[in-house]
Amino acid sequence: MALRTAGGRFFYFQRNVLKGDRKALGFGQQKFNLHQLGQEFEPKAKHPTSGSADLCLITKTPLATVASHLKVCGVEIEEGPVERSGAVGSITSLYFRDPDHNLIEVSNYNQSTPEGSTKYN
């Protein structure tokens, strides 16, 4: 599928159906989770509304480094590290909120979290 921007450029995405009939849009290695109003799944936006965001961003930066940076910035980690499904494979993710309470997921591919490991809070 493709979307055309106001400037006339196109970008391509893939519609994904995940476990439990959850839906997401894949943009290369990035994944945007889609929540249907009234049928949201956890974790979700603090105040789910039409157009609320749940963004999954992939980084090669170790999640411990991301967590340390968030802590210095006064950002509370809501969940993680936890194993999840990414656009192209298994990921390990941290979740936090932006100032508008949108859910932001920062993830690494190919990083495992041993059972019993300490959370980055």
Tell me which residues are annotated as active site: 105
Instruction: Please choose, from the candidates 59, 104, 107, 61, the residue with its C-alpha nearest in 3D space to the C-alpha of residue 81.
Output: 107
DSSP per-residue letters across 70-93: HHHTTPPEEEEEEEEE-SSSEEEE
Backbone angles phi, psi at 79, to 5 degrees: -160, 145
Contact present, 20 and 14 (Cβ < 8 Å): no
Instruction: Please choose, from the candidates 50, 47, 56, the residue with its C-alpha nearest in 3D space to the C-alpha of residue 37.
Output: 50
Q: DSSP secondary-structure letter at 38? A: T
